A and B are shown apart, each in its own frame.
Chain A
C-alpha cells in the first residue's frame, strides 16, 4: 500500500457546489458572524467570571494594546475606520467610569455593549470571504499553469506546451489513506493537520484537496499575506480566514478560537498547521500549538452536547506529512533556528519568498528538474487520537468499537469541563506527533544527510553543536567507502522501523546502495547555491554548507537513529 503512488483523478465527492459546507457558510455569512460574536462574548464573560471589574480591566487592556498597535505597527490591510472605532470605545469607557449616576447593573450593561461591539468587529475581520467563482479561477490557474510548465520542461519539441503527457501528479505524489479521507469527508467534518516546512505547503495542500475531490477547506492565514492584493485574492478564493498575529489580547484570541470552533460545528472542513509556523530546524514538529487544536475538541463536545451523536457530528483529525528533498527557505530557516537556540550573533532574516522574481525562478527550477515531493495522508483519528474506521467509528487498541462521546460523559451526561478538554487537546497533540513520525516518508536525501552529519559529529566528539557547525567546510571529507558502510547501517535500521510501521520509505530507496547514495547526493538541497553534500573529484563526500546539512539531517530526528553512531 505504502509503495504505490496514487495517481488518478478523483470524482468530487460533492459535485454540486451548493452542497459544499464552505459555500453554505458563505451564504449564511451574516448570521454566522453574529453567532461567532455572541459565542465569543459568552466565553470572555466566562473567563472573567462575570466580574464587572475584571471585564473592565480586559477591555482597557485591549483598548490600550490596540492603540499601541495602530501607532507602532500599522499595515496596509488595516481598515480605515479603525482609529475611529477605537476612539469611540475609548470615549465611551472614559464616560462610563466618570459617570457616578449609573447603577451597577446599568454599568454592566454598557460594558457588555462595548464587548459586543468589539467581538462583532473582530468576527467580521476574521471571517473568510469564500467566493466560488474566484475559487474556480484560482484552481484552474494553478493546475493549468503548473502542468503547462511541467510539460514544457519535460517534453521536447514545439508542441510541448500543449502536451498532456505529464501531469502534476507525476511530480507530486500522493500516498496513504486517500480513500478514507474522501469517505469520511462525506460523512463528518475533517480537520487536516499537515507538517509545515515551506511556504509552498499551503498552495500544495490546497491543490491536493482539490485533486482528491474534496470540497475546499478553510484555514487560518496570516493577515500579513493579505497586504499584497494578489495574495489576498487567492487567499479569499481558497476560503482562508484571517489571523492577525499582532493582536494578542484576550478578546481577539477568544474570537479567533470561537470562529474555528463554530465553523467546525457548522460542518466546514478545516486545515490547521499544528506546528504554528514552518519548522525552523527541519525536524518534524514535536511540540504543537494547542490553541487551534483545542477548538476541534471543543467543537466535538459541543456537537455531542447538542445530541449530534451520529457520524455527521463527528470530527476527524487527519495528519498529513509533506516530504521534500529540497526546501527553498532552508538556509534562512536554519539560521533563524540557530540564532534562536544558539550563540550565533544577531541574524537578520531574509525571506526567500519575498520577491516574485525569486518565486518564479524557483518554480521554473522545480518543474524543470527532478525533485519530487510526496504527500502522505495518514489514518484518520478521533479527537482523542483513536483510529477510526471508514464508517467513522472509533476503534481502540484492541480493535473494539468505542464511542468518542464517552470521553465527555460524567455520570452519564455530556459535561463541559475546560480543564478536561485542555488535557485532551494535549493528548491529541501527542498522538498527532506520533502519527507524523509513522507516516513520514524517508527519501534518499534524508538518508545521506543524516548519515553524513552523524559521521562528522562522531569524528568531532568533543565539540558542541555550534562549534561543530563552525568547522571550516574544506576540512570535512568523508571517505566514500566508510560513508557507504554507515549508510547501509542506517538504512538497515530504517527498514526495521518500516517493518514495525514506525516510518515509511519512498520507492526509490529499493535501489542498490550506490544508486541510493547517488540519488540522495543529487537531490539533497539541490537548488541551493551551496550544496549540503557533494562528491569530490576523488569520489569522496564533502559538504559546502554544514548548517544546511544539519537542517536536512534533522528530518530523521526522533527515531533514535543517532544511537547507531
Chain B
C-alpha cells in the first residue's frame, strides 16, 4: 500500500495489545516499523514467534517487547492503548524513560480518579472536577511529555481488524501531534480528522459509554428502534451537559468522536459496553457479567465516577443516575425505564 520508511527512522510504539491496541498496531505497521509493549511474557513470545495475538494474525513485522526503556529509546511517538484501570500504573512504569521529545497519543476511553492520598471514592462520596483525570491529564501529571494527543471515534476494534473503512479523530492542543497522527495512521481505508479540543474529544469517548450500556439494556429488553432513537438523542443531551461541566466544548460532542461514536456503539453487539447492558437486561448479575468478559467495559467505572461528580456539582443526569442504581443498587431495569419515561423533560434541544 505505502512504502516502508527507511530503516534509519525510529519505530512507532504501541503500549498494550488489547483488541483496539492490536487493530491500531496493524494500521501503523502498514507504514512504519512498530514495537509493541505487552506485560505478559507469553504474549511477547506469541507476537515475536507466531505473529499472532490471542490467536489472531497480526502484521508479522510488529516486534513485541516487555521492556519500557527499550520501547522509549526506539520510538519518538508512542500510542498508549491500555484500559483506564491500568493506565496510571503503566504510565508510571514508562515515566522514567520518557523525555520531552516524545509524542504520546492514547486511545483509552475512560477516566481516572485523582484523590488526596489515602482516600477512596467511597470515603469522598461527592467529587469535583479536580478529582477526575482524563487520560491526557494523567500523562501530563505523571510524565514530562507535553505534546499529548488522543484517538477517539467510531472505531470498533473488530471492524478495524477486518480492514473495513473507518475514520478517527486525533485531538491535541498541538498541531504537530495531529499531523503526526495523520501521517502515521492515514491509509486508504482509514480517514483521520484533527481536533484541538483534546479534553472534549476524550470526554466524548468516555461519556458515550454510559449511553452504550443503556442502549444495550433497551435491546436486551426487546425494545425497538423508537426507543433507541429516543435514547440516543436524550443521551446526547446528557453527554453535552456533562461534557461541558467537565471542560469540553460542544463542537467536539457533535463531531465524529461524539455523535459518530455514540451511534456506532449504540447499535453494535461488538461493543463491550453495549454487551454489559444487554446481558443485564437479560437478568444476569453485574459481577457475573464482568467476570466472564475478556476485556474491560469502561462504561461501568465511568458511571461510578460521573455519578459522584454529578452529586458533587448538584447537576442532574437522569440516565447516568438511573444506570448507577441498576448497576450497583439492584434497581430493576424496567423500573429505571419507567422513571425515565416519567421524568419531566420538556425542551427538546436547549444546548445549541
Residues of chain A touching chain B, judged by Cβ–Cβ distance below 8 Å, are 384, 386, 396-398, 400, 402-404, 406-407, 409-412, 415, 417, 419-420, 423-424, 427
- Given pairs A412-B101, A423-B174, 12 additional interface contacts (CB within 8 A): A396-B144, A398-B95, A402-B99, A406-B101, A407-B146, A409-B100, A409-B101, A411-B9, A411-B10, A415-B176, A417-B175, A427-B146
Residues of chain B touching chain A, judged by Cβ–Cβ distance below 8 Å, are 9-10, 76, 95-96, 99-101, 144, 146-147, 173-176
User: Shortest CB–CB separation between residue B18 and chain A, in angstroms?
Assistant: 28
User: Shortest CB–CB separation between residue A406 and chain B, in angstroms?
Assistant: 4
A384 touches B96 (CB 8 A): no
**In the bound complex, CA of A386 to CA of B101 (Å):** 15
Closest to A427 in B: B146
Closest to A423 in B: B173
A384 touches B146 (CB 8 A): yes
| Contact partner, B174, options A402, A403, A409, A419, Cβ 8 Å | A419
Residues of chain A lying within 8 A (CB to CB) of residue B147: 420
A402 touches B144 (CB 8 A): yes
**In the bound complex, CA of A410 to CA of B147 (Å):** 11
Considering residues B10, B76, B144, B173, which has the most beta carbons from chain A within 10 angstroms of its beta carbon? B144
A419 with B175, Cβ < 8 A, contacts A402-B144, A403-B100, A407-B100 known: yes
Residues of chain B lying within 8 A (CB to CB) of residue A411: 9-10, 76
Sample (12) of A-B pairs whose CB atoms are under 8 Å apart: A384-B100, A384-B146, A396-B144, A398-B96, A404-B100, A406-B99, A407-B100, A412-B10, A412-B101, A417-B174, A419-B174, A419-B175
**In the bound complex, CA of A198 to CA of B147 (Å):** 38
A420 touches B175 (CB 8 A): yes
User: Shortest CB–CB separation between residue B174 and chain A, in angstroms?
Assistant: 6
B176 touches A410 (CB 8 A): yes
User: Shortest CB–CB separation between residue A519 and chain B, in angstroms?
Assistant: 34
**In the bound complex, CA of A462 to CA of B175 (Å):** 47
**In the bound complex, CA of A410 to CA of B180 (Å):** 10
Residues of chain B lying within 8 A (CB to CB) of residue A410: 176
**In the bound complex, CA of A101 to CA of B87 (Å):** 68
B96 touches A400 (CB 8 A): yes
Residues of chain B lying within 8 A (CB to CB) of residue A403: 99-100
**In the bound complex, CA of A477 to CA of B144 (Å):** 52
Closest to A386 in B: B144
Residues of chain A lying within 8 A (CB to CB) of residue B95: 398
User: Shortest CB–CB separation between residue A414 and chain B, in angstroms?
Assistant: 10
Top 5 A-B residue pairs of the complex, sorted by shortest distance between their CB atoms: A406-B100, A406-B101, A409-B101, A407-B100, A419-B175
**In the bound complex, CA of A384 to CA of B140 (Å):** 13
**In the bound complex, CA of A445 to CA of B209 (Å):** 52
Residues of chain B lying within 8 A (CB to CB) of residue A420: 147, 174-176
Residues of chain A lying within 8 A (CB to CB) of residue B101: 406-407, 409, 412
**In the bound complex, CA of A481 to CA of B181 (Å):** 64
**In the bound complex, CA of A284 to CA of B175 (Å):** 32
